[in-house]
Every structure is written in C-alpha cells, then in structure tokens.
Structure 1
C-alpha cells in the first residue's frame, strides 16, 4: 500500500466509525452508566471483534460465512441473548454513587469488554462488508504481511480512537451529574440500549 492509499483508507474508516450505530450507542451507554473505563472496555471489545472480521476478510473467509450461514446465525443469536441479559441486569441494578471514572471491578470491565465483542461478532455481515471494502485499497489475494499489518493498525487507531472519543465525552457528561435518581435513570437507559441492541441483532435479517 502506498501513502495515498493509507491516508484514504484512514479517512474512510474514521468516517465510518463516526457514523452513529449500535456500537456507538453501547459505548455511550456503558460510559454513562459505569464510567469511562467501562466505555474503554466496550471500545476494546468492538476493536477486537472488528479485527477478527478484518483478518477473516483478508484471508478470504467471506465465502465461508455464506456457506456456514446457520452457524453464524447461532453466533448472532447468542450474542444478542448476552446483550439482552446484560441490559436487564443493568436495569435491575441499584444506582451507585461511586464517582464516575473511579476504579471498577475487573468483572464489570470484563462484562463491558464482552458486550462490545459480542455485539460486533453478532453482526456477521461485517465480514462481507470488509471483504468488499478493502479490495478498493488492496488486493486481498496479493496482500503482503506489511499490508495486513497496516490495515490492522488503521483499524485499531480509527475504530478504537473514535469509540474512545465517544466514551470520554459520555463519561465527562455523566461525571457532572449527581443524585441517585439521575444515576438510576442513566442505568435504566443504558440497560435499555443494550436490550435494544440484543433484540436488533437477533431479529435483523
């Protein structure tokens, strides 16, 4: 890949990451309900999921996704069920007056990470998207190790950077909010977003 292709791909992936989506909503929801670190954990999960699809697309596994349709439907349903369960648990939880951005239990961070990962992996059509998107910049069949490394780095920087930006903005906004009732409303809203994301994954064609 030459410099022009790298810059063009960087801009394109940044714009795509900025577009409001279920992943953006999930990052904002977790940052609002549990603080910036949890938003970062969700963003990390999303990036890992995207990297899985990027590598699969570059390795030519898009055709496999079509052949193994029923298996990927199962993955999508399991991912949706996890998000629904996580969302309901959040809505039932009591509001915490712990300062937003303070240290969070590792289990909560792990749950946030997996919610981002499963949301991304549940969108199995992303493999097909990446498989059709990247050929405009690099031929997957002739891609070198350096090409793949560049694409992986661009994915981490663009997707991760944008999602962290959303997490930071949401965390800053909620850090200004005080009061159990308000935080309870935030938890309920965040849980509702997760349930909605889970239902969306399950019912969408």
Structure 2
C-alpha cells in the first residue's frame, strides 16, 4: 500500500466520520443528557466497537454477515433495541427536578462506553461497509495483516476525532441549556435522540 493510497483512505475515513449516523446520534444523545464526560466515554466505546467490527470484517466475518439475512437482522435488532430501551428509559425517567437531581439521574460513563461498544460492534451496515469498501485499498502483493492493521487504526483514530467533535459540540450546547427549567427538556431530548438512533439502526437494510 503506497502513501497516496493510504492518504485516499484517510480522506474517505474523514468523510465517513463527518456523516451523521446512528453512532453519532447516540453520542449526541449521551452528551445532551449526561454531559461531556459521558459523551467522551461513549466516543471511546464507539472507537473500540469500530475496531472490533472492522477487524471481524477483514478476517471474513463481514462476508458471512452480508450473505446471511438472519445474521444481519439479529445484529441489527440487538443494537437497535439497546438504544431504544435506553432512550425510552431516559425520556420517561426524567421529570421536573432540580439540576442536582438531574445530574444524579445522568447515564454513567461506564454505561455509555459499554453501550457504544455494542452499537459499534452490532451495527451490521457498518460491517458490510468495511467488507466491501476497505479491501479496495489493500495491495495484493503486500502483507495483508499489516495493511489491515494500518487501515483499521487509521479509520478508528480519524472517526474517533470526528465523533469527539460531535460530543464536545453537543456538550457545549447542553451547558448553554443548563437552567433547571430547560435542563429537563434537554434530557428528554437526549432520550428522543437515542430512540431515533435505535430506529435508524433498525431501519438499516443490506
């Protein structure tokens, strides 16, 4: 793999990272509902999930998933139901409360991290993207494991950067809406965003 090929892949990764999808929606939801620390934890979880999904794709699991409608549906609904349940819980749990009470009800960084690991791993559309797109940047005459590792690290770091940008921007917006009479609606909005991310995942098709 030449430097120009790697650069083209890096540019494509930037574009992919900037396009909002269920992962970005989940990160924004965590940021609005629980703040910067939880949002950045969810970014870390998404990065780990992306790395696992991309690795599985490049060793051939993605091809099996792309060929199996049942496997695709199973993974799709695992990720979708997690986001929908968490979003509904956040929405209905929220009531008119003090800022301190809202802070206590915030989703923990650990929950956000583990949740987005699951979203990253179990989002089948992303796995299929990896298995169909990434191999085009691999030189058949070079070391496959080495090139696969370089592309995986490149993609995950770039997307982690764009995801962190979304997390910080949404966290900043949340801080502007931190008055007690507005915070409850911000938290409810975060639940709605998580539900929307789940619905988008459920709507994914091969």
Shorter-chain TM-score above 0.5: yes
Change (3 A) 1:152 1:203: closer
Q: What displacement does 1:143 show? A: 4.0
Given the alignment of the two structures, is residue 145 of structure 1 paired with residue 151 of structure 2, yes or no?
no
Given the alignment of the two structures, is residue 30 of structure 1 paired with residue 57 of structure 2, yes or no?
no
Aligned equivalents of 1:22, 1:57: Cα separation in 2? 19
Q: Is the 8 A contact 1:48 1:117 kept in 2?
A: yes
Q: What displacement does 1:182 show? A: 1.0
Unaligned ranges ≥5, structure 2: none
Aligned equivalents of 1:122, 1:149: Cα separation in 2? 20
CA root-mean-square deviation:
2.6
TM-score, normalization: structure 2?
0.85
Q: How does 1:43-122 map to 2 (within 5 A)?
A: 43-94=43-94, 97-98=99-100, 108-122=108-122
Counterpart position of 2:7: 7
Aligned equivalents of 1:144, 1:121: Cα separation in 2? 22
1:58-113 Cα deviation digits (max 9, x unpaired): 21223211344323422221221111111111112345625x9x9998x7112212
Aligned equivalents of 2:21, 2:40: Cα separation in 1? 17
Aligned equivalents of 1:12, 1:177: Cα separation in 2? 35
- Farther off after superposition, 116-125 or 184-193: 116-125
- Farther off after superposition, 57-66 or 181-190: 57-66
Q: Number of paired residues?
A: 202
Q: How does 1:116-131 map to 2 (within 5 A)?
A: 116-131=116-131
TM-score, normalization: structure 1?
0.85
Q: What displacement does 1:148 show? A: 2.4
Aligned equivalents of 2:5, 2:66: Cα separation in 1? 29
Q: What displacement does 1:159 show? A: 0.9
- Farther off after superposition, 32-41 or 114-123: 114-123
